[in-house]
Structure 1
């Protein structure tokens, strides 16, 4: 058995863990797929590179309301796809060579635990006193009758298809469905979204979820409170049987996209063989230092938390790196709430308690909502639907949650994220900070002043 000081399982955020501070360790990294993980190859980065041209196409179609005679003659799907993956795909080989040049052993076959501190990787057994599990997650494939006989896609594959389909059925109503539904409809595809719940983005604040659902209904067909019960192959694509309270309907499309969630890859690693505990969703149980239930093993990212957020995995990696080096003085993850954004149209961004969660938990709160339309830049945008919503404690003004929907929501929320994490109050943000006029940030200022 080959011994190491550190073994990292997963070369997404796990690869970022290995900086110069760890150079004195004899290190191995295991990645049976591609360096960069989900974010680089199948998730955050390529999807946003598709979102940007989708936004341009959408803006062009909306130009007339601002006096601009603009139209969209069509999109060059192969060119869009090549811009994305022509840049991303070469990075894997470059990353492998870079790590090998640093003296790090790279294993490219699947790994599984065979005991505490020991892994079987292909025909080799390797061990270490320190192991970091950063093995990520994969799309959930729902149990739908007929699915095994029908071609379908997930977020892992849909961005690499050879041509733009004329029609698509998207199953799911979360952030991946929201982003991909927007992208393909903006490119001219006839999109139908089938969602089990009454709205899209059900995890968001109710006001945001309802507003986003209204927007989505204006660009493609929504089948809410509905469930796909069967799929069949037909000439030219797939026939999707959808049931709701009114009965059964059949929708045909060229492509079927499944966006019903993701599951951690811990089941592929046989983690129980190493004495590692998992929760009911399959995530490794970790404490605030990133340590698992087995000494010498840490975990981060989708294998360990439920958020599926690259920025949270990055923060976890910084904590775990310190704790690998300084086990006697461990750091803890300084996260009170995990912010997130949905890069659809409109954008959505959120942190902390939603209003419905505050009510359910019996948390006392004040709430303020301000529309983009109440600001000068909102006038420039002719925006009549976007808003900022902030919750704070009645005593002291501590921020409890912030929820935005509209252009640049992922940017506008950042000062509210900073305030929540640094303990600044609504009063401080409203009265002790200057906001540039007539920038869109004034909508945040007005919501704070009202609060």
Structure 2
């Protein structure tokens, strides 16, 4: 039985912990898949590289509104795919070699706990004074009748297919479904989206969700309040039967993409055998410092939180790193302002309370919605559908939430995120700084001034 000072399970944000301050420790990393985790290999990074390409296609097609008449030749799927993964795939081997050269033992097989702080990897048991569990998550595969009889894809596999499908059914209406629907419809695939709820992106502010649903339905076939009852093979593709308020639909397509959520990988780790307390969703329970129920075991990322956001996992990794190195100065993640963005078309960004949440909590709030079209840059864009929405407290004038749908949304929201994190008032952010004219940031300024 080998013993280590530190063992890290998972090489997404978990891999970020190790630097020269750990060089004096005997350390090991356990990673049965590729270094970099979901974000680098199957998630944020490659998907955004596809999104950037899709945005370029859409910009060309919509340029006529600016007096530019352009067309797009058929997208070379393999060229796009290979350009992306030729950047990404070599990083795994270089990361493994780097860690081993630094004296870290790298286990490339799946590990599972057999007792608290005892891990079994390929028949060998290892122990450690300190464990960090950062094993991430994976796509949920529903128990839809017939799904196991067809070739379907999840976000893990869809980006590596060999041919661009002529048609695709997307089951799900969340951010992963929204991004991939944008990519494939931009590339020329006929996309049908099946959403169980009344709108797409129902976790967003209702006004944003409704606007996005309206715009998505102009590009794709969208069936709402839809329940998939069965799936079966049809030729080289699939046939999907869907129950909708207006009756039953049978949709045939060349490809099927399932995007109905993600689940933590704690079951594969056998976290319970390791003494780790889990919540009802299978996430590891930690305190605010990311200590688990087992002393000396820390956890972070998708295995712990429900956000499924790389920037959240990175912040947790930095915190856990500090706490391991400085046990006399254990810190907590005090900033609970957690923003996110959906890189679809149009782009969406959000932070804090939605208006429906504020109503549900019976909170007093002020709200202003400002259209991009109210700004000079919005005129230049000929934008008629985008807006920024800000909620504020009438009592202390702080920002409660912000929601933007439109070009550059993920960038435009950043000063509002900072204002919320720092406790700045609407008045300070509106009038205490200068906004460049005629930049698109004026849509944020105008909404703040109105509040």
Measured against the shorter chain, the TM-score band is over 0.9
- After TM superposition, the score normalised by the length of structure 1 is 0.99
Shift of 1:246: 2.2
Shift of 1:337: 2.3
Shift of 1:275: 1.3
1:396 aligned onto 2:396:
yes
Aligned to 1:196: 196
Which aligned pairs between 1:252-271 and structure 2 lie closer than 5 A?
252-271=252-271
Separation (CA, whole Å) in 2 of partners of 1:95 and 1:429: 42
Aligned to 1:213: 213
Structure 1: runs of 5+ lacking an equivalent: none
Separation (CA, whole Å) in 1 of partners of 2:450 and 2:21: 47
Give per-residue Cα distances to partners, 1:334-361, cap 9 Å, x unaligned. 3222100000000000000000001111
Aligned to 1:88: 88
Separation (CA, whole Å) in 2 of partners of 1:368 and 1:115: 54
Aligned to 1:419: 419
Give per-residue Cα distances to partners, 1:279-306, cap 9 Å, x unaligned. 1111000111111111111110000000
Give 3-state SS (helix, strand or coil) of 1:389's partner. Answer: strand
1:329 aligned onto 2:291:
no
Shift of 1:50: 0.2
Moved over 4 A (4+): none
- After TM superposition, the score normalised by the length of structure 2 is 0.99
Aligned to 1:134: 134
Alignment length, in residue pairs?
Answer: 451
Separation (CA, whole Å) in 2 of partners of 1:22 and 1:79: 41
Shift of 1:236: 2.4
Separation (CA, whole Å) in 2 of partners of 1:387 and 1:397: 21
Separation (CA, whole Å) in 1 of partners of 2:64 and 2:251: 33
Which aligned pairs between 1:231-270 and structure 2 lie closer than 5 A?
231-270=231-270
1:162 aligned onto 2:159:
no
RMSD: 0.7
1:309 aligned onto 2:309:
yes
Give per-residue Cα distances to partners, 1:358-386, cap 9 Å, x unaligned. 11112211111101000000000000110
Aligned to 1:78: 78
Separation (CA, whole Å) in 1 of partners of 2:79 and 2:252: 27
Give per-residue Cα distances to partners, 1:371-421, cap 9 Å, x unaligned. 100000000000011000011110121111000000000000000000111
Which aligned pairs between 1:20-419 and structure 2 lie closer than 5 A?
20-419=20-419
Structure 2: runs of 5+ lacking an equivalent: none
Shift of 1:117: 1.1
Give per-residue Cα distances to partners, 1:132-157, cap 9 Å, x unaligned. 00000000001110111100000000
Give per-residue Cα distances to partners, 1:72-122, cap 9 Å, x unaligned. 121000100001101101100110000000000000111111111110011
